[in-house]
Amino acid sequence: MSFLQLSGVSKFYGDTCAVADMNLSVEKGEFVSLLGPSGCGKTTTLQMIAGFEPVTRGRIELDARDITQAKANTRGLGIVFQSYALFPHMTVEANVSFGLEMRKMAKAERLDRVRHALSLVHLDQHARRYPRELSGGQRQRVALARALVIEPPVLLLDEPLSNLDAKLREEMQFELRQIQRKVGTTTVMVTHDQSEAMSVSDRVVVMEAGRATQIDHPFQVYEHPRTRFISTFVGKANLLEGRIEGEDDMQAVRVGSLSVPMFEPGFRPGSAVLLAVRPEKLQLVPAGAGRLDGQVIERFFLGSQWLYRLSTPVGELTVLCANDGRIVLEEGAQSAIDWPDSCTRVLPVDQGALA
């Protein structure tokens, strides 16, 4: 059995379903992220694991122990809130020590644990400071140290990096992952930031409208999205309307005058589908030398990349090209677009498309 197990967990507020039939198995030492837009149920799921919200239906088990009805203060979980929730009148050392004091731990062991926790987050030299004297990144580390010092079986992170600026958030992503790997604490994080979830997680749970729509490794979620929503929420995608033609292993997707081979089985012949291809998988080639000819409508300089929008016979397509010294196309320029067959994904428009 998995270390943390959610079985058919649902949460209703009156007639409104916030989380529907969540089934999730988290292995010991694993880092799992709940990813989705606001209102998708990810924070509610975390709060049910923490014990802050009662479960309407289903079961939550921790290390084979049923904790579904257990009070939050008896679960022993470590929690880092979005606001960090540090005590402003306490020093860094006192903030980190607070949970151990509540557990009546002996002073000598308590001090040893606090020193170790502060060393882990590189704040040894800041033990006597107050939260107001720290940067945002340092306050985030204090909150993390306070959660880890009690040696919880599971660490819960509620959008812990959302209050940081973009550069610091990126730095803290990797630091958070390094700390988690060093300590080995089973971790569940809530985030709406796709890059954050992809960079630090062993697995990602993509949520939409209260349901887990895909639970998979980050690479699989990005390269093999199961729905239209996932293909556009996790990264960007060009979506082309098409129809399945052919039978069994000889199927292709017809998009306008294009016939694109497909590699996903299980679609009904003649059914409407979407052909998804990531902008960075597309290549700009000389006019007449690709699958589609087009004209550059707009271009945007992104530093390491150029983003182009092209008008084509099958609609507008977005192309991302590396800023690698090649010729930059002007708006209005003619070009062609090509891509490897293996880079396309076929998504059902509705369940009727699936065989």
Domain with residue 11: its CATH number is: 3.40.50.300
**Is position 331 within any domain?**
yes
Of the residues 228, 254, 280, which one is the last residue of a structural domain?
228
The pLDDT value given to residue 355: 56
**Is position 90 within any domain?**
yes
Beta carbons of 155 and 80 less than 8 angstroms apart: yes
Do 210 and 262 fall within a single domain? no
Do 41 and 177 fall within a single domain? yes
**Is position 349 within any domain?**
yes
- Give the tokens for residue 147: 């959660």
pLDDT for 351 beyond 70? no
pLDDT digits (tens, 9 = 90+) for 144-169: 999 999 999 999 999 888 877 888 88
CATH of the domain at 326: 2.40.50.140
Do 23 and 144 fall within a single domain? yes
Do 158 and 267 fall within a single domain? no
Do 88 and 38 fall within a single domain? yes
Give me the amino acid identity at 212.
A
Which candidate, 192, 162, 153, 161, places its Cα nearest to that of 177? Answer: 161
The pLDDT value given to residue 129: 95
Do 43 and 161 fall within a single domain? yes
Do 130 and 271 fall within a single domain? no
What mean pLDDT is predicted for residues 127-131?
Answer: 94
When divided into structural domains, the chain yields a total of: 2
Q: What is the pTM assigned to this prediction?
A: 0.90
**Is position 209 within any domain?**
yes
Look up the domain containing 175 and give its range. Answer: 4-228
Q: Between these two residues, 198 and 1, which has the higher pLDDT value?
A: 198
Do 302 and 199 fall within a single domain? no
Do 222 and 250 fall within a single domain? no
pLDDT digits (tens, 9 = 90+) for 265-277: 778 888 999 999 9
Beta carbons of 22 and 47 less than 8 angstroms apart: no
∠ CA 132-85-157, rounded to 5°: 125
Report the alpha-carbon distance of residue 72 to residue 296 in Å, rounded.
57
Do 245 and 222 fall within a single domain? no
Do 72 and 137 fall within a single domain? yes
- Give the tokens for residue 145: 């140290």
**Is position 233 within any domain?**
no
DSSP state, 249? G
The pLDDT value given to residue 85: 86
Helix 107-120 to helix 92-102 angle (10° resolution) is 130
**Is position 139 within any domain?**
yes
**Is position 31 within any domain?**
yes
Do 182 and 61 fall within a single domain? yes
